[in-house]
Amino acid sequence: MSDLLANLNTPQLQAVTLPSVHALVLAGAGSGKTRVLTTRIAWLMSTGQVGPHGVLAVTFTNKAAKEMTARLSTLVPINPRGMWIGTFHGLCNRLLRAHYREAGLPQTFQILDSADQLAMVKRLLKNLNVDDEKYPPRELCHFINAHKEQGVRAAQAEVYDNYTEKRVELYAEYENQCNREGVVDFAELLLRCYELLQRNEPLRKHYQARFSYILVDEVQDTNKLQYAWLKLLAGGGAKVFAVGDDDQSIYRFRGAEVGNMRDFEREYAGDNVIRLEQNYRSHGNILTAANAIIKNNRERLGKNLWTEAGDGEPIRCFEGYSDLDEARFIVEEIRELVRDGVSPTQIALLYRSNAQSRVLENELFTKNVPYKVYGGLRFFERQEVKHALAYLRLLGNPDDDTAFLRVVNFPTRGIGARSLENLQVTAHQMNSSLYNAAASLTGKAGQTVGAFIRLVETLRQETAGLPLPEVVEHVIEKSGLAQHYRTEKEGQERLENLDELINAAATFIDDEGAIGEGGALVSFLTLASLEAGEHQAGEGQGAVQLMSVHSAKGLEFDVVFITGLEQGLFPHENAVSEGKDGLEEERRLMYVAVTRARRRLYLSCAQTRMLHGQTRYCMPSGFLDEIPESLLLKLNKKAAPAPAYPAYVSFGGVYAEPAVAGGLRVGQTVEHAKFGVGVIVASEGRGADARVQINFGASGMKWLALEYAKLTPV
Ligand code: ATP
Ligand code: MG
């Protein structure tokens, strides 16, 4: 026990050992909030105030939940498996799985990730003959999610003009479609769970009595619905312990409200507000820079961080001629750091927009530096993996139209687009799923679609009772997916990913006892949906970490590179155009980025950048000016670096080079129907012989003949 409390400073110790009260820890980055929260759980348990059963802890990512669980098991001699530690989505999913009937869901309900949701909305607009230019699908998704996050169903949505009326009508249609298919989107997980608890008194009472301690990390980023959900669960007398930092609130665009933290302070914490001001993460110069940046924000609860660590190294700045120049500089530095003994996993490359990662990835790839991208092309979102998952989803729930459409004609079975359109019209009229409506198809369509239905039925029979990895393997083989990729030219890597999926199923341990109801397959599919954004195939040891600033929240690294510090990019132009509030949110994001660094921080920008197919001429970010000059070490090269660069590099006219062909240039970002988005890195040949080499990131490097590869600039 004394070990547990050793190495805590006075206010940390006070927070950890508070008696049974509501409390708020309001403190800056790296001051030990997450550590205090974890230690408090351990302390409560080891002093016998609560058992593992009575704790509910909300973390920001699944990764954080795993770390917290692992950490706990080192602090207290209990087995924390089966404890309710997870993200809002994860915990709501768990509750809904356990009470699917009461929630009005099929036992095997599936989760739509954002790409699935978009696909469903597009399909819906098409079926209803709605003009998707007037009602852009993405905006509609946003409209729906924003309402759900406010706890508002279509039936209660406010209508103030014809346009909104139509959108609300589409929201209602979308709800019906989801119910018909037995699928839920991310926001629905929360709303459904909230409504269930609100409506069902015995269930609510049960959970209110069960959890006597509720702990919340990153409380500044909760939205209205999440806050209401917490209040509901705490309604039976549970004590809520929340930790957060208003300066790190970065999800306003998703409905997060710093106001929740103030409400929490008023409604719950009262006098039990503890502030931590000592930072244990970063060296002095880094912290001074972070403080200097954030003090330009008006809307702050106000706090100042200090550290006992020395000033440390100056902050390194680099201004490149182009984004490629910037990438080269960064990769050179990384190689040097690694040579000097820094572990690559302790090096993070942060960017404001995911699109920026391509040029960095390309350079890392070329120089053979292993790297891992968070939130890039995600393992569970790859085409081949999604195909396999779609078959698996149909086994559990044939009414899942999204899964049905994904694989009904993959591998091809001669089912035409026309037949599918007819099928969709019929299903719509019958108010049934595509799977059910298929029986009514006649003629050739009846035969081909019928064969697909029989395939799914056969797969279901053949896999009944098999262990999970064998189910996955069987489906990949017998669905024809494996054969399809075996014959495809570039199929090797996809086959490897499918093997990886079998491996993932084998290592998947259903450790969530309480949700095992739908069986291992359903739990596995759930993991695939919930972790889509965080998982990466071949999660390598020894890889440099690439991620957006948003996904770096809560993490720390010895060395951090913040890249693309340019006006319009970071701060982002969309946010800037919103005025002061937008800019302040960007500044908080910058503060989050800077405070990830322990020992060394690099800030870099480029004078020209290729983004979304266009060369942009950039000014350095205004945030750079907010850092005192005395902290900075400028590393710019003196002379133009032309000779060091291969002749084909072409950026913003700095190194002139004619177009490859068809208006494409080296350095340009393009989209390929099969491989996704990539960057042209080299070219050869002219006219009909022209070929380009493209780095498709996770899909690898490919040489493609321009005449055949349909490439669209993005
Ligand atoms: P963020 O706001 O970024 O989420 P945080 O406030 O949650 O940060 P932690 O991640 O808990 O901060 O802690 C930052 C680092 O400081 C961690 O490496 C943690 O182990 C260390 N740390 C925290 N408190 C102490 C302490 N009293 N003594 C030594 N190290 C500490
Ligand atoms: Mg934290």
Domains annotated on the chain, with CATH: 2-97+192-276 (3.40.50.300), 110-181 (1.10.10.160), 279-378+536-637 (3.40.50.300), 379-531 (1.10.486.10), 639-714 (2.40.10)
Integer angstrom CA distances of residue 197 from 110, 191, 495: 20, 10, 44
Q: Which residues line ligand 1 (CB under 6 A)?
A: 7-9, 12, 27, 29-35, 245, 248, 280-281, 554, 556, 595
| Closest ligand, as measured to the CA of 39 | 1
pLDDT band per the 50, 70, 90 thresholds, residue 28: very high
Strand partners, 683: 692
pLDDT exceeds cutoff 50 at 642: no
The protein residue with its alpha carbon nearest to ligand 1, atom 19, reads: 32
375 DSSP assignment: S
Share above pLDDT 90 across residues of the chain, in percent, rounded to a whole number: 53
pLDDT exceeds cutoff 60 at 659: no
Taking the mean position of all CA atoms in its chain, how far away is CA 289? 28
Spell out the residues 6+ positions from residue 129 whose beta carbon is closer than 8 angstroms to its own: none
The protein residue with its alpha carbon nearest to ligand 1, atom 24, reads: 32
d(CA 621, CA 232): 43
- What is the model's pLDDT at position 703? 76
Mean pLDDT of 54-61: 90
Q: Pick the closest to residue 378 from 619, 546, 222 (CA basis).
A: 546
CA-CA-CA-CA torsion sign (694, 700, 703, 707): negative
- Output the DSSP codes for 463-527: HTT--HHHHHHHHHHHTSHHHHHHHSTTHHHHHHHHHHHHHHHHH-----GGGGGGHHHHHHHHH
Q: Given the DSSP bridges, would you call strands 597-611 and 557-562 parallel, antiparallel or unpaired?
A: parallel
Residue identified by tokens 């660590």 is 309
> How many alpha carbons lie under 13 Å from residue 376 in its C-beta half-sphere?
27
pLDDT exceeds cutoff 50 at 511: no
Integer angstrom CA distances of residue 262 from 52, 223, 257: 29, 13, 9
- What is the model's pLDDT at position 539? 47
Q: What is the pLDDT of residues 123-180, one digit of tens each?
A: 999 989 999 999 999 999 999 999 999 999 999 999 999 999 999 999 999 999 999 9
In 8-50, beta strands by DSSP E: 23-27
pLDDT exceeds cutoff 60 at 650: no
- Best of 3, 67, 281, 286 for a ligand 1 pocket test (most atoms within 8 Å of beta carbon): 281
d(CA 140, CA 146): 10
| Distance linking the first and last C-alpha atoms of the chain | 57
Q: Pick the closest to residue 504 from 487, 490, 491, 520 (CA basis).
A: 520
Ligand 1 mean position, distance from CA 32 (Å): 3
Q: Given the DSSP bridges, would you call strands 23-27 and 55-58 parallel, antiparallel or unpaired?
A: unpaired
- The encoded tokens of residue 175 equal 């709800």
- What is the model's pLDDT at position 531? 66
Q: Which of 261-270, 400-409, 512-521 has the lowest mean pLDDT?
A: 512-521
Please state, as a whole number, how many other Cβ atoms lie within 10 Å of the Cβ of residue 296.
15
Integer angstrom CA distances of residue 120 from 132, 196, 325, 403: 13, 25, 41, 10
- Best of 67, 280, 306 for a ligand 1 pocket test (most atoms within 8 Å of beta carbon): 280
Spell out the residues 6+ positions from residue 509 whose beta carbon is closer than 8 angstroms to its own: none
Q: Which of 179-183, 229-233, 672-676 has the lowest mean pLDDT?
A: 672-676
Q: Catalytic residues, which ones?
A: 33-34, 217-218, 248, 596
